[in-house]
Structure formats: structure tokens, C-alpha cells
Amino acid sequence: MKKQNSTTLRKRIGRLLLLGLIVSGCGIAPAHAQKDAARTIEILAVNDMHAAIDNFPRFGFMVDSLRAIYPDLLLISGGDNQTGNPVNDQYPEKGLPMIELMNAMKFDLSAIGNHEFDSKPEGLANNLKKAGFEFICANIKTKDAGKYPIKPYKSFKMANGLNITFVSLLDLNDGGIPDSHPDNVKEFTFNDPYKTAGEYLFLKDKSDVLVFLNHMGFENDVKLTGQLPAGKVDLIIGGHSHTKVDKEQIHNGILITQAERKLKYATLIKLTVQPNGKIEKSMQLLTVGNKGKERADIREMVNKYNDAPSLKEKIATATDDFKSYEEVGFLMIDALRASTGTDIALINPGGVRIDHLAKGAVTVMDVYSMDPFGNEIVVFKLSGREIKALLTQAYKFDEYLPIYPSGMRSLYLLDENNEVKDIILFTEKGMPLDMSKKYSVSMNGYMASVYKYEHEDPGTGLFRVAADSMIEYLKELQTIPSYRFEKRVELIR
């Protein structure tokens, strides 16, 4: 019996000695020794994925490959996971495919982007509930935190002992809300993101690394760095502006990253904390796309989502390629005008979500790709003067992009700062629009809700979704003419 115990003891000692050799050979230092050595946090960040589910199989393979190298890799999203693919947007539980794919990929955290609200309050609540990761936003408030469990920040304790904290800020438009239909955000209030930033700098005292995970746009992130005290924030992972940051951008000592949109890219970020607390920062923009080796189980999920026969129905044929947002927008707005019988129809530039449409078969999916929002059609009686006021206010609200019209043409006269000096309106035949005459004008419900200009008629909702009306229009039209040389808007500086 003693001999058996002795043999067992020798075997245990041998295993411990062997484990020690393996650990030392792999360069893994004991936990107590790591505090005296440089320690690194690796982050893989994406933003504005906009339901690009077809890139997920490739992305899954990349993430698994990186996790094999960096076992504690944090997978982070800068928001706007939703909206942009009818397979996801028209799913019975709107947005759920993206949530399930992100769960399968084991995302660690996501910012709230303005398009997270496109699922409407109940849809957002459902997506938050089913997500296996947390959403954060510091400048959003709700009375029902149980229904909308959005926290201001999230901290992670890494295996090497480092603490990293993420805080998130969401951009607001001139109306004081994110770029979403007001009805989608009615259960929330929003605070100024720049003022909010200062309220969370205390977290740096509790963390080795403080990161702002923002959905504000690259230029606004740069603006924010100029307002932050030196040494408080180490990194900003951005989104919203779809900016491709392919080389290190350091502003006020803060690294700013962003990976364009639709999972074309992902950013690998490394933050190395030296024993004296100094942080070395680096980034590498990686190409994702949909070419190359894939993760099999993610491919299976995507194939299942894509098996949606109703979206593949052919409804018309395009006689030419559409090669710009403007051309696609003109088609959309002509459809709206025809389906409503109004004198004029208008669409905001942000309401046109694709910049190309191939010659040939046009499907239901194509229409929902152009307009994924499900906005109701609203009709107004507006004078020429009121239409001009709408276009003037909308130009700045839409970040200096013009409205796309049908039934009229517009000439924008701009100053050296790109501000509107005047807008001259014409009929389709080139005659000046009558400033006193009342015209019937159709537009989507988002425009009807967010543009603030003087007008008498409050508008009448038609209880019809703009995209559905376009589908009906194209089914009747059958053959879509070319818009290649169509010019309705001119900007003169």
C-alpha cells in the first residue's frame, strides 16, 4: 500500500515538473510576475455591420483564427448592427438573425447605434433580451431599465490581471434624438454626448484602460478628443460615419479607429500596458468580405436565413444599371409620386440605402434594400414657399446633402462654407415654381416628423408603407427605364 502511494506521489511530482517546463517554454509567467511585465489587451472591433450576414461565415473563421492566437481577444461592435439586408430586416422577429449570429460568434459587447432603434421599441426590447452580450450607451435614459437593459459602461477583468472599461456615446441630431423616426425612440430620453463624456472619466481611476465605444462619427470623435483631459481616455472605437481608418489616428494621445461598414473590414487593436502604466497603442485594419475560408456552422445559419422565397420574387426588369444613390433615389421617388398621385414627391438622402441596382431582374429584396425602414407615406398641401423652407432646413439637417425630388427640379446656391444662400425651384418643364400655389406633396413619415419648417398643413398619413407602395408600382410598371442621365438637383458654389 505504501509502495502504491509512493508511486502515485512520484507521478504527480513528475507531471508538475513537466507542466512547469511547458509553461516556461511557452513564456507564460506566473500571475504574480505579470504585474512587473508589460501586459497586452487585444480587441477586434467592427462597426456599422448593417446586417451584412453574408460576410459572417468568413468573419467567423477569422475570429476563430485570431482567438487561437489571442485567447482573451475581445470582440466588440460600434453599433448599427441592424438595417440594410431584407433577410434580417423583414424577418418575423425583426433583427433577430443578426443577434443570433453575433451570439454564435460570442461577441463581448456592442454600442447602441441609431439603427438599433429601427426594430421599434418592442423589437429593440426583444433583441436586447435575446442578445448573449451587453449593449451600452451612457447618454440614453429610460424609465424601464428592465425592458431595455442598456448600461452606460462595461468593465472586463482580463486573464493577465488588467482591467478595461468601455463607455459609449451616441450621436444626436438637431432634434436632440438619434437619426431615427421619433416614434422609435419615444420611450427614451437623450443627453448631450459631449457633456456626458466628462461624467464617466472617473472610471479611469478604477481601470488600467478606458475606452470610448462611440457611435458618433469620426469627425465628432476627433472633436471629443479635444475636449478630454490628457491621459484619461486611451482609445475611441468609432462608428456612424462609415469611415475607413486604415492607419493610426492619434489625437490628444487617444487612438481612434473605425472599420467602414458592412463587415468589409475589422480592426485588430493592441493595447500594451507597461509596468509604469504607460500604454502603447497600435491597430491593423483587416479585410473581411465574403471570400476565403469560412466557419461551417455560421454558413449553415446564413443559408437558412437566406432561404426566403418571398424576397426573391421578380417584380420588374431594369433596362440599365443604376450606379449612384441619386439614380436609385429618383426611381424610388418617382414610384412614390405615381403611387400617391401627388404633384411632387420628396425623399431624404438617408432614405436611399443602396447606390447601385444591376440591369435585369428586380426583386422584392431589391426594394427592401433600397428602403428598409417601413415608414408610412404622408401627404401634405404645401406652397412653393413652404417646399423651399423644407429643402433649406433639410439640407443642413442631412449634413449638407440635398433632397431628391420628383415632379420638380431644384438649384441650390451655396456660399464658401457650403451653407444655403438660396434654393430656386422649377417645374419639370423648367418654369419657376409658383411660390404661392399649393401643391400636393408626398414623403415618408421620417421626413414628416424630423424636419422643422413653417407650414400650415399638418399632413395626412396614408397608412401605407413606402416600400410596399413601390413594390406595387414596379409590378405594374414591369420595365424600368434608364436614369443614367437624369439630373434634377444642381449645387452651385
State the Cα angle at 155 between 149 and 161, rounded to 5°. 155
Same domain? 321 vs 346: yes
Same domain? 183 vs 119: yes
Same domain? 294 vs 327: no
**pTM metric for this prediction:** 0.88
Q: Does residue 227 lie in a domain region?
A: yes
Q: Does residue 268 lie in a domain region?
A: yes
Same domain? 480 vs 352: yes
Closest CA to 109 of 44, 198, 14, 177: 44
Please report, in tens digits, the pLDDT of each residue of the chain (493 residues total): 333 444 443 444 344 333 333 333 333 333 334 567 999 999 999 999 999 999 999 999 999 999 999 999 999 999 999 999 999 999 999 999 999 999 999 999 999 999 999 999 999 999 999 999 999 999 999 999 999 999 999 999 999 999 999 999 999 999 999 999 999 999 999 999 999 999 999 999 999 999 999 999 999 999 999 999 999 999 999 999 999 999 999 999 999 999 999 999 999 999 999 999 999 999 999 999 999 999 999 999 999 999 999 999 999 999 999 999 999 999 999 999 999 999 999 999 999 999 999 999 999 999 999 999 999 999 999 999 999 999 999 999 999 999 999 999 999 999 999 999 999 999 999 999 999 999 999 999 999 999 999 999 999 999 999 999 999 999 999 999 999 999 999 999 9
Q: How many domains does the chain have?
A: 2
Same domain? 135 vs 252: yes
Under 8 Å between Cβ of 317 and 360: yes
51 to 83, 117, 174: CA distances (angstroms):
6, 14, 27
Same domain? 249 vs 279: yes
CATH code, domain carrying 151: 3.60.21.10
Same domain? 284 vs 343: no
For residue 64, what are the contacts with CB-CB under 8 A and spacing of at least 6?
295
Same domain? 348 vs 409: yes
Where is the domain boundary, 290, 305, 320? 305
CATH code, domain carrying 394: 3.90.780.10
Q: Where are the beta strands (DSSP E) in 8-94?
A: 39-46, 74-77
Torsions phi, psi of 242, nearest 5? 60, 35
Domain that holds residue 382: 308-492
Q: Quick one: 191 exposed, middle or buried, by C-beta within 10 A (0-12, 13-18, 19+)? A: middle
Read off the amino acid at residue 355: D
Q: Which residues pair with 74 in a beta bridge?
A: 43
Same domain? 195 vs 245: yes
Please tell me the distance from the alpha carbon of residue 257 to that of residue 43, in angstroms, as a whole number: 11
Same domain? 282 vs 383: no
Same domain? 264 vs 340: no
Same domain? 67 vs 152: yes
Q: Does residue 14 lie in a domain region?
A: no
Q: Does residue 20 lie in a domain region?
A: no
